[in-house]
Structure 1
Amino acid sequence: MRLTLAQIESFYWIARLGSFHAAARQLCITQPSISGRIRELERDLGCVLFDRSSGRARLTEAGKAIQRQAEQMLALAREIHDETTAGKLRGLLRLGVVETVAHLALPRLIRELNATRPSLRIELKVDVGAVLLKQLAERQLDVAITTDAVASEGITVRPLGEVDLAWLGPASHPLVGRMLTPGDLVDEAIFTQPETSTIGRTIREWFETAHCTPKSMSGCNSLSVTSELVASGLGFAVMTPAIIRSDIADRIHRFEASPSIARRTLSLAALDETWSGDTEFIARFVADTFRELKALR
């Protein structure tokens, strides 16, 4: 019997996410690859680990029996990796984040890194995802936390979850209580980020589903300023509701929309030579912070 960590990791994520497809996305591998890993694991163990008859991957009794041990194996592997010199970031970390991450997770992350890795110097860059990914590809950054990153040669991507994005508008607006459609907002003022940003692209694609263009699109490269404008009753915007400050939250309404806003995946992308146990720690820390703040779906 030759169990591998890749097999155990695949088993863990399928059990957690409930599907082979979702687990493959989480691990940035193909579905046939993850299916092959589970086939080999089941063959080596001599039992079936998942019941797929209902459309979801549900643990069999045999799968439930090994779930805890699988989690312990992965935790131990992370500890071993973190204890090695290769698993530690040293010197300068050039870290790029999109503004939503800067608002929600960056202060906590920097505080934690300062406390646990005092020898690490951090150089920060806050920008839209397209700029950060370009700088990462050009080796101007070591790590970028952004949306919809794609793995490429020399760059590893770890998906963290789907960002909670919603249409936000003034709480006093007559449309409150209605399901928003592109037609409802075509005559309203829309505040957006640069077209190369995830939010800019999301807004554009949403209106394109109805083959229409809003009459007023105002660019604003600050989400905090955008939220102030919305709270003042001046227009609508797409953003993560969790970043809204408590002192203006009662003046902003979250709208349901039809069609739904496109889903965007928050990811950590890093140069292969930078990837380490500390990089994994940053990914987990940001994901956990976003979940705590209900900023991931």
Structure 2
Amino acid sequence: MDLESLSIFRAVVHEGGILKAARKLHRVPSSVTTRIQQLEASLGAELFHRDRQRLHLSPRGQVLLDYADRLLSLSDEARQAVVGGAPSGVLRIGALESTTASRLPAVLAAYHRRYPEVRVELSTGTNDALLAALVARRIDAAFIVEAPADRSLATMPLFRERLGILSAVSHAPIVRAQDVQDDSVISFPDGCAYRRVLMRWLGDRRIASMRILELSSYHAIVACVAAGTGIALVPQAVLATLRSPPVLWHPLPKVHGERVTPLVWRAGEVPPALAALQESLRLAEPA
């Protein structure tokens, strides 16, 4: 078992198959297949369940994936410590769609200029999906809203967000939850932290009779709100990034409407590329 084999194994898992992994690694599929077979033979364990042309990670493969992530990350750290110089390799980060649209473009552009040898892989998702990906080691860090009280995770508070209710321009002023009692709610799927904020503001009575339309894009959400389909909770910073039809934004009370987006990572696991991102964020102007 060597690091190259582990890297190929991890690519097959993350890319979802031999062909996609081969394209990403710039190898022929037969070479990737051979290395996986050799790795299984050396370990004496089946790492994948094979179903026709599809591969499904086996329980033993899941165990190896955790070690592979740690060993490859440690290898990068060791190389960086010995060689020195600027960080390199891959930095896998996750972020909410709102953070990706409104906060990260400038951050990532500056990071890329300063550390061109680092390849940033960015994925978006809900708060809960990103935390699950972080714990499962599919990403190295995440920009989320609600970080759990978990000692295995470290956090860095970053962006202050102001939340409000978005409505069509014909809607009456929204100050209390009763002002939207007849409206449908448009939101991201379950697992979205902002959706939970909205639920807490609406209260238990409203939740029981709520009509919810789930969408996965702020562009779609704002367009539906503008058309009068319902109301939505949206960070104020997001609106500045969208070319949308006219809508109204009603700020929530401070107890519900102010949130701080943190960067979260696994405690004690800070590869050079992530340390460089953290330093860049510390030096940036407060948002």
State the TM-score, normalizing by the size of structure 2.
Answer: 0.62
Deviation at 1:106, TM superposition (A): 2.6
Moved over 6 A (4+): 83-87
1:187 aligned to 173, 182, 188, which one? 182
Aligned residue number for residue 220 of structure 1: 215
Deviation at 1:85, TM superposition (A): 7.5
Aligned residue number for residue 273 of structure 1: 269
Aligned residues with identical type, % of pairs: 21
Q: Does 2:210 correspond to 1:199? A: no
Query: Once the two structures are superposed, what CA deviation does each residue of 1:224-266 show, in whole Å capped at 9, x if it has no partner?
Result: 21012112232210011221256436x1111144695354331
The answer as to whether partners of 1:207 and 1:214 remain within 8 angstroms in 2 is no
Aligned residue number for residue 165 of structure 1: 163
Q: 1:139-150 residue pairs with structure 2 within 5 A?
A: 139-150=137-148
Deviation at 1:96, TM superposition (A): 0.5
SS in 2 for 1:130: helix
Query: Once the two structures are superposed, what CA deviation does each residue of 1:117-172 show, in whole Å capped at 9, x if it has no partner?
Result: 01101111100111111111122111111112136344321111442111111122
Give the residue type in structure 2 aligned to 1:199: Y
Aligned residue number for residue 10 of structure 2: none
The answer as to whether partners of 1:192 and 1:238 remain within 8 angstroms in 2 is yes
Aligned residue number for residue 233 of structure 1: 228
* CA 236–84 in structure 1, closer or farther in 2 if over 3 Å, else same: farther
Distance in 2 of aligned mates of 1:156 and 1:101: 19
Q: 1:235-274 residue pairs with structure 2 within 5 A?
A: 235-244=230-239, 245=241, 247-248=243-244, 251-257=246-252, 261=256, 263-271=258-266, 272-274=268-270
Root-mean-square deviation over aligned CA pairs: 2.9
Aligned residue number for residue 110 of structure 2: 112
The answer as to whether partners of 2:162 and 2:235 remain within 8 angstroms in 1 is yes
Query: Once the two structures are superposed, what CA deviation does each residue of 1:53-107 show, in whole Å capped at 9, x if it has no partner?
Result: xxxxxxxxxxxxxxxxxxxxxxxxxxxxxx9988964311011111111111232
Aligned residue number for residue 33 of structure 2: none
The answer as to whether partners of 1:161 and 1:287 remain within 8 angstroms in 2 is no
Distance in 2 of aligned mates of 1:216 and 1:107: 34
* CA 86–211 in structure 1, closer or farther in 2 if over 3 Å, else same: farther
Aligned residue number for residue 41 of structure 1: none
Give the residue type in structure 1 aligned to 2:181: V
* CA 184–89 in structure 1, closer or farther in 2 if over 3 Å, else same: same
Give the residue type in structure 1 aligned to 2:270: T
SS in 2 for 1:281: helix
Moved more, 201-210 or 181-190: 201-210
The answer as to whether partners of 2:96 and 2:125 remain within 8 angstroms in 1 is yes
Give the residue type in structure 2 aligned to 1:96: G
Show structure 2 runs of 5+ residues with no match.
1-80
The answer as to whether partners of 1:193 and 1:221 remain within 8 angstroms in 2 is yes
Deviation at 1:269, TM superposition (A): 0.8
Moved more, 153-162 or 197-206: 153-162
Show structure 1 runs of 5+ residues with no match.
1-82, 292-297
Q: How many residues align?
A: 203
Distance in 1 of aligned mates of 2:109 and 2:183: 41
SS in 2 for 1:118: coil
Aligned residue number for residue 97 of structure 2: 99
